[in-house]
Amino acid sequence: MFRQLTAAALMTLGLCGASLAQDPKAAGAAPAAPAVATPVVPVAGTAGVQSANIFQIGPDADADPNYAKQTNGERAKVQPGNNAPVWRQVGGGVTGFSSLPKSEAPEAGNLIQPFVQYPGSRYTTAGEAWRQVRNNWLIPYGGALLLIVLGAIGLFYWRVGMIKLHGKPTGRKIERFTPFERSAHWANAGAFSILAISGLVMAFGQFLLLPIMGHTLFGWLAYVLKNAHNFAGPVFAVSLVIVIITFIRDNLPAKGDMNWLLKGGGMFSEHELKSGRFNAGEKVVFWGGVFVLGLVVVASGMVLNKLVPGLVYERSTMQIAHMVHSVSNILMLVMFMGHIYLGFATEGAIEGMKTGYVDETWAREHHELWYDDVKSGRIPAQRSPQPVPGPTVQV
């Protein structure tokens, strides 16, 4: 897989390949794979051809002198219906006329990316190689990973069930999240949910929904969700940065984190291991899922939405951005499936994110070091000026 992905990336970058027109067999059936990649060789007579209309017959069509000499009628008589010369030139990367500005559409004059070849592959275009990576690797393996994690979560729920409080709630509250922290979190979670649903339909819908819904209905659904995806993207990006800044301090590594991870937080024993405001598992999600994957997803999404000023948006740019976006998204989804599951399965956790408050017993059982800090007065039990829903923990 790695070799194919690397080769596809190289191909999209135009780092290896050979022209289709160099091999007479290539116009029809794909030839057997050579052992080594050969450098790109331009189609005879087309090197450096710019702004030549490849479909034009006449003196201007200097891309292929022999082809230019023939009239449409002559060609039709000698080889009826044969437009292979046109496609040789198209596949050779000949640039034609385009009224679109070069700055906005640098490759508008090229119908398709040049034909290329890499070790172990057929002659193809980089676009087709990208399509194969998408349909043969990203979709099946990404989909399988999502199903495996969904199954593992189901299994976990079946064997372990809800993570309930051991002690009785005291009724005394601690403010766990301020209104600002909750707003940032829910804005981000809302945008994430829209992005996840629309992204999944865009990736898997053609295989799972299209056969059931038919082209018209699926076309509309994909169109609506694609637009929703484009609008939710910037909301996600901005709220992600706010979430990172808001929660970074309490997610910094602390003594005992490694021990917590090695022992799985004590999840399978009677008592959870002691932790600060966020435990080491939450910190892994924060640094891996929110910080690294979140920023990679946002950066590659901005490229796909053409929001990075000064970047040249060629097909290869989009293909690489798409592959990076897909892989990072699947990994991020997997991490957040765990995060969302624990949010709902841990009794009292979702209340903390909804109302801002958790019970004293919840704090002691799940984040004992944080609870100790509140009890000793190092962290105030009430941080924001909002009305308190009952008695708070007294120092």
| Residue 383 lies near ligand HEM (rule: CB under 6 A) | no
Asked if 116 contacts 11 with a C-beta cutoff of 8 angstroms, the reply is yes
Pairing type for strands 357-359 and 173-175 reads: antiparallel
| Residue 340 lies near ligand HEM (rule: CB under 6 A) | yes
Separation between Cα atoms, residue 184 and residue 97, nearest integer Å:
48
124, β-bridge pairs: 116
Q: To the nearest whole angstrom, how small is the minimum distance from the Cβ of residue 15 to ligand HEM?
A: 35
Which positions from 32 through 51 interact with ligand HEM, judged by CB under 6 A? none
Complex with ligand HEM: residue 291 or 313, whichever CB lies closer: 291
Which two three-digit tokens encode residue 69? 């000499």
User: Which amino acid does the sequence have at 85?
Assistant: P
Number of residues that bind ligand HEM (CB under 6 A): 24
Pick one of 94, 280, 285, 323: the residue that binds ligand HEM (CB under 6 A): 285
Q: To the nearest whole angstrom, how small is the minimum distance from the Cβ of residue 221 to ligand HEM?
A: 21
| Residue 11 lies near ligand HEM (rule: CB under 6 A) | no
Asked if 31 contacts 23 with a C-beta cutoff of 8 angstroms, the reply is yes
| Residue 339 lies near ligand HEM (rule: CB under 6 A) | yes
| Residue 176 lies near ligand HEM (rule: CB under 6 A) | yes
Of 112-120, 151-159, 283-291, 323-331, the segment contacting ligand HEM by CB under 6 A is 283-291
| Residue 75 lies near ligand HEM (rule: CB under 6 A) | no
| Residue 172 lies near ligand HEM (rule: CB under 6 A) | no
Which two three-digit tokens encode residue 122? 């057929």
Of 56-64, 166-174, 198-206, 281-289, the segment contacting ligand HEM by CB under 6 A is 281-289
HSE (side-chain half, CA atoms, 13 Å) at 253: 7
Pick one of 109, 142, 199, 294: the residue that binds ligand HEM (CB under 6 A): 294
Query: Would you give the binding string for ligand HEM spanning residues 238-257, x where CB under 6 A is met?
Result: --x--x---x---x------
| Residue 188 lies near ligand HEM (rule: CB under 6 A) | yes
Pick one of 54, 129, 273, 290: the residue that binds ligand HEM (CB under 6 A): 290
| Residue 5 lies near ligand HEM (rule: CB under 6 A) | no
Q: To the nearest whole angstrom, how small is the minimum distance from the Cβ of residue 371 to ligand HEM?
A: 12
Separation between Cα atoms, residue 196 and residue 204, nearest integer Å:
12
C-alpha distances (whole Å) from 129 to each of 111, 122, 266, 301, 365 are 16, 10, 46, 21, 53
Complex with ligand HEM: residue 233 or 294, whichever CB lies closer: 294
Complex with ligand HEM: residue 125 or 251, whichever CB lies closer: 251
Pick one of 115, 130, 192, 260: the residue that binds ligand HEM (CB under 6 A): 192
Residues that bind ligand HEM (CB under 6 A): 176, 185, 188-189, 192-193, 240, 243, 247, 251, 278, 282, 285-286, 290, 294, 336, 339-340, 343, 349-350, 352-353
